[in-house]
Homo-oligomer: A and B are copies of this chain.
Amino acid sequence: VIVEKIEAMLGPEARPLAGRHILVTAGPTHEPIDPVRFIANRSSGKQGYAIAEAAEALGACVTLVSGPTDLAAPPGVRRLNVETAEEMLAAVENALPADAAIFAAAVADWRVAENPSAKLKKSGGAPTLALTENPDILKTIAAREDRPALVVGFAAETGDAAAKGQEKRRSKGCDWIVANDVSPESGVFGSDENDVTLVTGESAEDWPRMRKAEVARRLMTRIAEALEGRPYLPTRAGHGA
């Protein structure tokens, strides 16, 4: 925090994202089964929140679209709370344009096809839940004509992060992938540390295991470098950019 404060006092060179709008998603989504039950996942939101905080520290105007988490919004960050994948996509689309978007949320791949307005009764017997595919937020945004200059996805995989990250980068049409190992043995879900591989174009860098805050700072520094020299977004009311 002291380092960030000193950086902030050093002027524009230390705030390379000043005038940029950075969009970040974080956390899990909750997909309702009925009014009291839902499908969730073990994402804590810590990595996405750390990225939002790091982007703000580098001078960006940050919009954080967050699924349900216990985390406090980082100071100076505009947080939009959502529950489901469909709500998250709508919030992201509303928040555009952005210079870069980092999709760190663990969005549910599927939702329950039908969810009744009354609680399912136990007496009705054990139900079968038919799931249906959720919108693919990363792919949808990467395909837009007004897409951010840099679209970064996360790939939560078990094993061979670099290869799976490359494959995901191609199939989603995004620019970079931060691939991480979420096998139970890695213990990164819910942890303060992460073990990632950054896939940019054809190359992949294995980063050493480090704190999520440090992953966030490194990633945002790389994003600031990639945005250097690019034109700024037209100023729009409400973004402060």
Contacts and interface: CB of A to CB of B under 8 A. Distances in A.
Contacts of A122: 109, 133
Interface in A166-210: 182-184, 189
A235 interface: no
A129 B108 CA distance: 15
A129 B132 CA distance: 11
A129 B131 contact: yes
Given A36-B182, A37-B41, 5 more contacts: A35-B184, A37-B40, A70-B70, A126-B132, A126-B133
Interface of A: 30, 33, 35-43, 70, 106, 108-110, 118-120, 122, 126-133, 156, 158, 182-184, 189
A42 B184 CA distance: 25
Contacts of A36: 41-43, 106, 156, 182, 189
